[in-house]
Amino acid sequence: MGPENSIQVVHPSLPVQIRLQDRLCVILGGGRVALRKALKLKDAGAVVRVIAPSLEGDAAAWASLEIEHEARPYGGPADLKAFLVVAATNDAEANAQIARDARLQGAMVLRADAPGDSDISFPSTLRRGALSVSFATDGRCPALAARLRREAEVRYDAHYEVFLDLIAELRAEPRFKALPGRDRERILTEIAESDLLASLGWEQPETVRAAIFHKLEELEHPTPRKGSVTLIGAGPGDPGLLTLKAAEALRGAEIVLHDALANPALLDLHAPQAERIDVGKHKGNAVMTQTQINQLLVQLGREGKRIVRLKGGDPYLFGRGGEEARALSEAGVGFQTVPGVSSLSAVPAAAGIPVTDRDFGNSVGAFSLHKHHGEGPCEDEWHRMAHGPETLVLFMGKSMLQHACDRLVAHGRPATTPAALIINGTLRSQRVIQGTLETLAGQVANEKYSGPGLIVVGEVVGLRQILTPSEVLA
């Protein structure tokens, strides 16, 4: 392969933190870009000198900074005896010359107009006390880095600052300092992976502080470790619908038992270190029976493990979470439940169907079309459905759609009642087929749809035409 065909390997930048406290940083240029750099440098405690004929842009912002301003053009290499030089003029050739001169003086260089010719870059950074979360794109799209930082503001709230201050107190404790390194690391790991950070949302900091320091007591007076099981609702499919509390529990899990309906992306994102055990159904075949799952949860809980049972939707709505919770309670294994966003309302909503509406349906009922031992509803249950809530949400019914429509009509629901089948609700692959109890099964008969399905019956289905963007209507 000739030189003209060779592939140039471009290595990504190494993210580092540099202490700029009381170090001289020189900025060449006085425009808006220079102002943004000056604000970041002053925030980091640097001594900032700006060399530019004038300071442009936000005069109040410039005035708020304690900087040295030399109102003149760049005067040559002697201006660049600094720790960091920022070339931020509006002249690319001048910036390139400044960069060359600065390196001869031993200074690091940041060229605002040419990230590839810079030694460092300023990432978009969120600060919560001692915590810094930064996003950088190697200069390719700073706007994306800024967007990610804004999203992180929700994820990393003010509780992180309080939490890290409490950890700093623990690390300053003489008893903690006297521990062997592996014990200190173990305590910090257990605290970081616990739900103490999440509990700051509703507990007083002093309560959380006591729990943190209790880790020292546990080490000095060890007792057999108690296991815990957390039953988590993963939501209807879209990973973005996982709750923050569920994500916290996943991150601290040692073992995750998950269903087939739980999106694998949740495990990759929130529990990459955890052992994963698939206990779901795949094409009608169960990896484990429900009794075996219950026994495994009890066994692992008794072994002192931090277990998460990850279930699609909400664990207590046709998720058999109640059966698992009863088994744990009867065995004396501690557990907690984290509710999930339920498919009952979320899947229809994503399809443009509100399950209740004051004009079209004031009541809603959820029914499973597959009960214990695979049985379907009996005739009395079909009758109650046909004459019950104005809106019906039928779970696990895709395979018996024709039968469900026929039985509802036979027991008194008008054949003209609007109905819809929603496949892969809330996901990009979502598919919605809309018709009536009389037509829906026929509309679906000649199509092959893979993925879980939910049936919605009621006048509210007709609202989909105005509540769903036209480009995604089936």
Domain with residue 97: its CATH number is: 3.40.50.720
Instruction: Say if residue 28 is in the same domain as residue 113.
Output: yes
pLDDT (0 to 100) of residue 439: 96
Domain total of the chain: 4
Q: Look at residue 470 in the predicted model and tell me its pLDDT.
A: 52
Give yes or no for a contact between 438 and 416, defined as CB atoms under 8 angstroms apart.
Answer: yes
* Same domain as 272, residue 183: no
Is 281 tagged catalytic?
yes
> What CATH number should be reported for the domain holding residue 256?
3.40.1010.10
**pLDDT under 70: residue ranges of the chain:** 1-11, 223-225, 282-286, 372-374, 469-474
Do residue 354 and residue 422 come from a single domain? yes
Is residue 112 included in any domain, yes or no?
yes
117 labelled catalytic? no
Domain co-membership, 75 together with 92: yes
Same domain flag for 296 and 352: no
Tell me: do 244 and 322 sit in the same domain.
yes
The answer to the question of residue 397 being in a domain is yes
3-state secondary structure of 25: strand
pLDDT of residue 337: 95
Residues in the chain: 474
CB-CB contact of 426 with 238 (8 Å)? yes
Q: Are residues 357 and 461 in the same domain?
A: yes
Catalytic residue among 101, 113, 238, 259: 259
Domain boundary among 196, 220, 244: 220
The pLDDT value recorded for residue 45 is: 94
The CATH number assigned to the domain holding 378 equals 3.30.950.10
Helix (H, G, I), strand (E, B) or coil at 245: helix
**239 within some domain:** yes
Instruction: Please check whether residues 380 and 466 belong to one and the same domain.
Output: yes
Specify the 3-state DSSP secondary structure of 69.
Answer: strand
Report the pLDDT value the prediction gives residue 323, as an integer from 0 to 100. Answer: 94
Q: What is the pLDDT of residue 8?
A: 47
Within a domain: 136: no
Same domain for 354 and 240, yes or no, is no
In this structure, are residues 265 and 239 in contact, taking their beta carbons and an 8 Å threshold? yes
- Residue 395 belongs to domain spanning: 344-472
Residue 337 is assigned to a structural domain of this protein: yes
Query: Does residue 387 lie within any of the structural domains?
Result: yes
Determine the Cα angle at 50 with ends 46 and 52, to 5°. 170
**Single residue among 172, 195, 220 that ends a domain in this structure:** 220
In a domain, 3, yes or no: no
CB 90 within 8 A of CB 29: yes
CB contact at 8 A, 245 and 230: no
pLDDT of residue 374: 67
Q: Clarify whether residues 208 and 299 are in a common domain.
A: no
Q: Where are the beta strands (DSSP E) in 212-314?
A: 228-233, 255-258, 275-278, 281-282, 285-286, 306-311
Considering the domain architecture, whether residues 294 and 309 belong to the same structural domain is answered as yes
Both 363 and 394 in one domain: the answer is yes
Residue at a domain's end among 341, 356, 382: 341
| Per-residue pLDDT, 314 | 94
State residue 284's pLDDT score.
Answer: 58
Residue 150: inside a domain, yes or no?
no
